[in-house]
C-alpha cells in the first residue's frame, strides 16, 4: 500500500510527506530529478512530470492512494486532469486533491477556476476523493516580511471582508490524516470536502495591527491598491501570474475568504489541537529574520 505525493518538494508537499512518514506510511514522492531530492530515508523519490503521460503511468504503478497538488502554472488544469485520468486508469480509488476555498465563487481568477473545474471532474466521474479547500496561506507572508519590517507597512491588499489564513503546516497535517484515513480503509470512502481555514479572520487593518504588536512599532495598512500590487509582483514573477494574483486580491476585497460554520471546530477535532494562529506565525518569521 503506497501513497504517491505530487508537488512533494513544495511548502505543502514537504509537510505532507513529513506527516505521512511520522504516521508510518509507505510514501512515494514525485519529483523532476530524484538525484536532487532530499527526503527522509524511507521515502522513495520517483522521476515524473505531470504532463509526461508515460512517466506518470510509471509513477502511479503500484500506488493505492494519490495526493494531488498542482502548482499555479499556465497548464495547471491540464496537469490535474491528466493525473486524475491516469489514476483512474491505474485503478486508484483513494485520492486527496488540494483545491482552494471559494473556487466556485472566484470564478474569474484563473487558478481558482481551474481548481473548480477539477472538482467538477472528480464529482462527475465519481472519483472517491477528499477535496481539500485551503484559504490563503500564512506562509505567503514570508515574502512581504522585509517590506513590513523595512518600510513599516503591510502591503497585501486584503481589504476589510477578512481572510481566514491558515498555516501550511496545518494543511499538510490535515492532508496526511485524510490520506491515511483513506489508505487504511477496507473499502474506498465516499467523496468529502473540507475547508482548510485558520482560527482568525484577518482584515488588512487587523493584520497590520498584529505586525505592530509583534514588532513593537506601528505598521500601517496603506489600503487596497490592487493595480500597484500587480505592478510590484511583475518584478519577480511572470505577467500572467501577477495578473492572476491581482484578480484574486480584487476578490479578497469584494468577497473575502471566509470560513463556514463549523470549519474551525472540525479542523481542531481532526488535528486534536488548536490551529496555528497568525500572531504566532508572524512572531516566528520575524524572530528568524
Q: What is the CATH number of the domain that holds 60?
A: 3.40.50.720
pLDDT at 289: 59
Average pLDDT for 232-247: 96
In a domain, 220, yes or no: no
In a domain, 230, yes or no: no
In a domain, 46, yes or no: yes
pLDDT at 1: 85
> Which tens digits make up the pLDDT trace of 93-137?
999 999 999 999 999 999 999 999 999 999 999 999 999 999 999
Which residue did the predictor score with more confidence, 289 or 261?
A: 261
The total of structural domains in the chain comes to: 1
CA 127 to chain centre: 21
pLDDT at 217: 97
Q: Which residues contact 184 (CB under 8 A, 6 or more apart)?
A: 1
Instruction: State what percent of residues in the chain have pLDDT above 70.
Output: 99
Instruction: Write down the pTM of the prediction.
Output: 0.96
Is the pLDDT at 238 greater than 80? The verdict is yes
Cβ-contact 29, 37 below 8 angstroms: yes
Return mean pLDDT, the chain. 97
> Can you tell me which residue has the cell 510509471?
58
Angstrom CA distances, 22 to 78, 146, 181, 182, stand at 32, 34, 14, 17
Compute the distance between CA of residue 121 and CA of residue 140 in angstroms, rounded to an integer.
29
Cβ-contact 77, 97 below 8 angstroms: no
Average pLDDT for 67-81: 96
> Which tens digits make up the pLDDT trace of 155-208?
999 999 999 999 999 999 999 999 999 999 999 999 999 999 999 999 999 999
Secondary structure of residue 156 in the 3-state scheme = coil
In a domain, 239, yes or no: no
In a domain, 40, yes or no: yes
What is the domain range of residue 76? 3-136+167-197+259-276
Instruction: State what percent of residues in the chain have pLDDT above 90.
Output: 98
In a domain, 51, yes or no: yes
In a domain, 148, yes or no: no
Average pLDDT for 54-83: 97
| Strand 65-68 with 95-98, pairing | parallel
Compute the distance between CA of residue 218 and CA of residue 155 in angstroms, rounded to an integer.
14
In a domain, 63, yes or no: yes
Report which DSSP code applies to 70: -
pLDDT at 35: 86
Q: Confidence class of residue 244 from pLDDT cuts 50, 70 and 90?
A: very high
> Can you tell me which residue has the cell 512572531?
283
91: left (phi over 0), alpha (psi -120 to 50) or beta: left
Secondary structure of residue 133 in the 3-state scheme = strand
Q: Confidence class of residue 288 from pLDDT cuts 50, 70 and 90?
A: low
Amino acid at each position: 500500500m503506497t501513497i504517491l505525493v505530487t508537488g512533494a518538494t513544495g511548502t505543502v508537499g514537504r509537510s505532507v510527506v513529513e506527516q505521512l512518514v511520522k504516521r508510518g506510511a509507505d510514501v512515494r514522492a514525485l519529483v523532476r530529478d530524484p538525484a536532487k531530492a532530499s527526503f527522509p530515508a524511507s521515502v522513495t523519490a520517483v522521476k515524473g512530470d505531470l504532463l509526461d503521460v508515460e512517466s506518470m503511468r510509471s509513477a502511479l504503478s503500484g500506488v493505492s492512494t494519490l495526493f494531488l497538488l498542482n502548482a499555479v502554472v499556465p497548464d495547471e488544469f491540464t496537469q490535474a486532469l491528466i493525473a486524475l485520468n491516469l489514476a483512474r486508469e491505474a485503478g486508484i480509488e483513494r485520492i486527496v486533491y488540494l483545491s482552494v476555498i471559494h473556487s466556485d465563487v472566484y470564478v474569474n481568477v484563473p487558478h481558482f477556476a481551474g481548481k473548480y473545474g477539477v472538482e467538477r471532474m472528480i464529482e462527475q466521474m465519481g472519483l472517491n476523493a477528499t477535496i481539500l479547500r485551503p484559504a490563503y496561506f500564512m506562509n505567503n507572508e514570508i515574502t512581504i516580511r522585509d517590506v513590513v519590517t523595512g518600510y513599516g507597512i503591510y502591503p497585501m491588499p486584503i481589504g476589510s471582508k477578512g481572510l481566514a489564513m491558515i498555516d501550511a503546516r496545518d494543511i499538510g497535517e490535515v492532508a496526511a490524516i485524510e490520506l491515511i484515513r483513506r489508505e487504511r480503509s477496507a473499502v474506498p470512502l465516499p467523496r468529502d470536502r473540507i475547508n482548510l481555514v485558520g482560527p482568525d479572520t484577518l482584515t488588512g487593518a487587523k493584520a497590520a495591527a498584529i505586525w505592530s504588536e509583534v514588532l513593537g512599532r506601528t505598521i500601517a495598512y496603506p489600503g487596497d491598491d490592487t493595480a500597484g500590487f500587480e505592478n510590484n509582483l511583475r518584478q519577480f514573477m511572470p505577467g500572467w501570474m501577477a495578473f492572476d494574483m491581482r484578480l484574486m486580491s480584487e476578490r479578497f476585497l469584494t468577497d473575502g475568504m471566509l470560513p463556514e460554520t463549523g470549519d474551525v471546530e472540525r479542523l481542531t477535532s481532526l488535528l486534536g489541537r488548536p490551529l496555528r494562529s497568525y500572531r504566532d506565525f508572524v512572531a516566528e518569521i520575524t524572530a528568524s529574520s
